[in-house]
Amino acid sequence: MEGMNLRTLGDLSVEGVTFRREKVLLLLAFLCVEGPQPRRRLADLFWPDAANPMNSLAQHLVHLRGLGGALTEDGPRVGASLTGSGTQPTQDGGGLRCDACDLREAVRRGRPQEAADLYRGPFLDSLTIPLGADLEEWVFDTRETVARDARTALTTLAAQAAAHGNAAHAGDLAARALTLPGAPPADEMELPRLHHLLTLAGHPLAAQVEREARTLGLHLDAVQVAPPAPFAGRETELAALGALMPGQVAWITGHAGMGKTALLDALARAGGWTVLPGRADLPFGTLAPLSAAPPTSTHAALNALRDPQVRVAVDGWEGTDPGTQATLTLAAQGRDAQVRPGAALLITGRTHPPFDVDLHLHLGPLEPGDLTPWPGLHAHTDGHPTLVGAALRGQPLDLQFGARVRSYPDPVRDTFLTLAIQDQPNLRATRAAMNLGAQDFARILSFLTTEGLTTETGRAYAAAATRDALAQIHVHAALIHLQLARALPDEDAWPFYDRSRDLWEDADERRAARAARLRAHAHLKRGYPGQAAELLDTLPGLPELAVPHAWALIGVGRYQDALTRLTTLSPHDQQVSDALAARAVALVYLGRAEEAVVLADRISGSGPDAAHAASVRAHAARMREQWDAARRHSQIAADLWNLHGDDEAHLTELGMVARAQVGLGADPGTVFGPLLDRAREIPSARSRLLMNYVMLLGTLGQRPQAEALYPALMQALQEAGDTFGLANVHINRGVDAHENGQHTEAAAHYRAAITQLRGTGNTRLLGVALSNLSEIDGNLSAFEDALTLLASAGQQELVAQIRRNAQPQTP
């Protein structure tokens, strides 16, 4: 049985059938658009006031069954037997097509002309029956949705016409899109694109768009027709093409936006080429400008290419008609002297040439050297020619990609956005986040590459501009980040969880906590406890993060905060070895060595917690100048770190062994020298060893040796990114100068330390620097404020020491 076509755009009918019951056809249209539905929902939606809604539904389904093959029924669910775009026909060739469904599918599949042809009026515009509130709302919402899709199709066609040099046709299509019956007013995303197309054609509706934009507070200056940007790079290609001899054929391959057209424009300006935009609307239409009369045969078209003085460039092989392609193919093949053209011939396309050519150039992104006259331009645009042109014209980069991306089907658009938010795209995770099969994902990735939006590896060009634009759409951006976070490995997921907090579901809480813990651990391993603390400060309510949070707080000197964070654990979890280790370390740095050692003695085994415990005992021994015990406990800690393969912690703890050996009488250079050599490939460990060594030399009165090592120490700390180490060095140098009466130099060091500590959260070092600086300045109020800051952080012993040693200067 031949299939039926349900018309919903403009009127409501089934083609070829005299059936006219509006409510029955409305029910069929609903099933086509929304898919199979439970019977109860249909009854309540269509007959909300009926005494027996289910009976009313049953009566209408009887009529639909009379339209053979239009209905599918599966127990409590009812659906339309829909065929058409994206579906398979039934075996007997029957089934149902729906124009609204076909239109939307055509837009999703990138067939704008088909979609535009299908739109014959607003969805269900001819309805005369009364509707309930919910059903009426559905009709209006669907009407606007379908009309928006039709507007997208028309706008896409207009853009294509403009790209092929047909500004008048582009303006007509844009005008149709703007005034489309059934569509809501164009919004702030649609108006700039329509305004650009209308302005390009000089269409009178451009002024109307400007007025509408002003009412929305939009500025359309960025999309006005602008003079061409300076032509950047491509000197090698210009030279090669300029050297083409009569009768030779060249081909330029490149993805969309790689500057093929711009290169042809430059040739036309500099080398006398005739540039012909590819067009498929008329047979041989592309070559028509070369003849007095439009050619009507291959032979006539070839005649226009025989003049050896002519240089012809055809822009867009894929956009030319079959007759033109056959002519160019025959001309390039040159089967005999009568066919081979005298004109130099150049063709651009997105694929490799289908015939042999004399010169084949492939255009990709511009190299940094191509953009030397414009410093920073390559980093800003990734060398993408379209973006380079936009930047040179002063246009926002998102204008070049944004409208195109928004017009793509949802899976294509969201795949691009997911790739753009990643610095180094994880293709496997991106595919999983989009819930795409391997074949579909590969097809989309290939499409994005040929469209010039991404590289072959999936990296988006100038992704920062896309991220900035995406951030303006908060909820959708959060959803994109959340989908990717769920698909990425735990160690990479945190930045994307962080940007999607508003959408976390219960299942996301635990995995986000794991991801945060791993990211914080990575910061700590790299020597950036401030970043770890800042991250975990935002998740104070998750008990599973209490211990890593405490370690981060210890790293920035917030020892009292670390103890407070550990109290959020349950009584049982507070007694677990990792919590005991963190608490012990915090206590020993607060000067409460006895309490710290009691906790450390409760930790057994040979794991990292045992290493921390041994280090605590060593620290307590150093505070009492019990050097032999300090050496022994530091050596145990170093051996345990070595057992676990932590080279950084191992070498750092060996530095504490060396410090104890100096306390026992060893020469500093003898014990620290070999360790510094071993740590050359571990910047963070080397910087800490060198700092301990230099500070020790200063303590022992070997000031000249210490001064000689300061440049190497500062460089090592900078290479390791150790802001606390740099602050420590400035404070120690400030103290040396302070004690020697060199107050100006001391103040400069204290201020440098304060600069290094900005944003780190290390209250202890900041308080020392502030108190010492205020002591030099004679600012007693600031001095007391600094001591209050230290006291609030639990540094009472340090406060007492500063008060004993303070000698405020007279201003």
* Per-residue pLDDT reduced to its tens digit, 425-445: 999 999 999 999 999 999 999
138 and 255 housed in the same domain? no
Whether residue 238 is predicted with pLDDT greater than 60 in this model: the reply is yes
Is the same domain home to 59 and 139?
Answer: yes
Query: In the chain, what percentage of residues exceed pLDDT 70?
Result: 88
Which one, of 280, 362, 266, 363, lies nearest residue 318 by Cα? 280
The reply to whether 402 and 358 lie within a common domain is no
In a domain, 192, yes or no: no
Please check whether residue 469 lies inside any domain of the structure: yes
C-beta of residue 434 within 8 angstroms of C-beta of residue 415: yes
> Are 307 and 342 contacting, i.e. CB atoms less than 8 angstroms apart?
yes
At 443-490, the pLDDT tens digits run 999 888 887 788 888 888 877 777 777 777 788 889 999 999 999 999
Total domains present in the chain? 3
pLDDT tens-digit map of 240-254: 777 778 888 999 988
Extract the tokens encoding 733: 């140098």
Among 108, 131, 97, 140, CA closest to 7: 97
> 625 lies in a domain?
no
Give yes or no for a contact between 675 and 655, defined as CB atoms under 8 angstroms apart. Answer: yes
Among the residue ranges 326-340, 649-663, 762-776, the one predicted with the least confidence is: 326-340
Region 551-579: mean pLDDT is: 87
Do residues 406 and 471 share a domain?
A: yes
Q: Higher confidence at residue 276 or residue 527?
A: 276
- Residue 421 placed within a domain: yes
10 and 135 assigned to the same domain: yes
pLDDT of 786 reads: 65
The C-alpha atoms of residue 448 and residue 197 are separated, in whole angstroms, by 24
Beta strand 96-98 pairing with 71-74: unpaired
List, for residues 16-43, the tens digit of each pLDDT value. Answer: 787 778 999 999 999 999 999 999 999 9
How far is the C-alpha of 583 from the C-alpha of 725, rounded, in Å? 23
Upper half-sphere CA count for residue 526 (Cβ side, 13 Å): 13
Task: Provide the domain limits for residue 268.
Answer: 244-364
The answer as to whether 440 is a domain residue is yes
Q: How far apart are CA 430 and CA 436, in angstroms?
A: 9
- Point out the least confidently predicted range of 106-115, 159-168, 668-677: 159-168
SS3 state of residue 458: coil
Whether 716 shows a pLDDT value over 80: the answer reads no
Q: Is the pTM above the cut of 0.85?
A: no
Q: Taking the CA atoms of the chain, what radius of gyration do you get in angstroms?
A: 37
Residue 118 within any structural domain of the chain: yes
Mean pLDDT over residues 276-297, rounded?
79
Say if residue 346 is in the same domain as residue 462. Answer: no
Residue 292 has pLDDT above 70, yes or no: no
CATH code, domain carrying 270 = 3.40.50.300
For residue 72, report the phi and psi dihedrals to the nearest 5 degrees: -125, 140
Q: What is the pLDDT of residues 370-400, one digit of tens each?
A: 888 888 888 888 888 877 777 777 766 665 5
- Asked whether residue 9 falls in the same domain as residue 127, the answer is yes
Rounded to the nearest 5 percent, the helix, strand and coil shares of the chain are 60, 5, 30
Contact in structure between 119 and 103 (CB atoms under 8 Å) = yes
In whole angstroms, what is the distance from residue 723 CA to residue 760 CA? 8
Q: Is 110 helix (H, G, I), strand (E, B) or coil?
A: coil
**Mean pLDDT for the stretch of residues 125-143:** 92
Question: Could you give phi then psi for residue 808, rounded to 5 degrees?
Answer: -55, 140
Q: Evaluate if residue 224 carries a pLDDT over 50.
A: no
Final residue of a domain: which of 129, 144, 159?
Answer: 144
Q: Looking at residue 225, what is its pLDDT? A: 40
384 within a domain of the structure (yes/no):
no
Mean pLDDT to the nearest integer, 634-647:
92
Output b/e per residue, 98-107; b: 16+ Cβ within 10 A.
Answer: bbbbbbbbbb
Element (H, E) at 753: helix 743-757
Cα distances (angstroms) measured from residue 208 to each of 97, 148, 214: 38, 19, 10
pLDDT of residue 467: 76
* Choice among 64-73, 158-167, 264-273 with the minimum mean pLDDT: 158-167
At 99 the pLDDT is: 94
Q: Is residue 495 part of a domain?
A: yes
Q: What CA–CA distance (Å, rounded) separates 755 from 770?
A: 11
pLDDT at 312 over 60: yes
Determine which of 76-80, 400-404, 413-417, 419-423 has the lowest per-residue pLDDT on average: 400-404
Report the DSSP beta bridge partners of residue 274: 312
Say how far apart CA 432 and CA 414 lie, in whole Å: 12
For position 340, what pLDDT does the model report?
A: 55
Domain termination residue (choose one: 455, 475, 504): 504
* Contact between residue 754 and residue 770 where contact means Cβ atoms under 8 Å apart: yes
Do residue 342 and residue 410 come from a single domain? no
Tell me the average pLDDT across 627-649: 92
Per-residue model confidence as pLDDT tens digits over 147-195: 999 998 898 787 656 544 467 888 899 999 999 999 999 887 788 778 8
354 and 400 housed in the same domain? no
> Contact 99/118 with Cβ under 8 angstroms?
yes
Predicted local distance difference test score (pLDDT) of residue 272: 59
The reply to whether 353 and 304 lie within a common domain is: yes
Contacts of 423 (CB under 8 A, 6+ apart): 463
Report whether 326 contacts 300 (CB < 8 A): no
Question: Which is higher by pLDDT, 452 or 129?
Answer: 129
Last residue of a domain, one of 144, 179, 204: 144
Question: pLDDT averaged over the chain?
Answer: 83
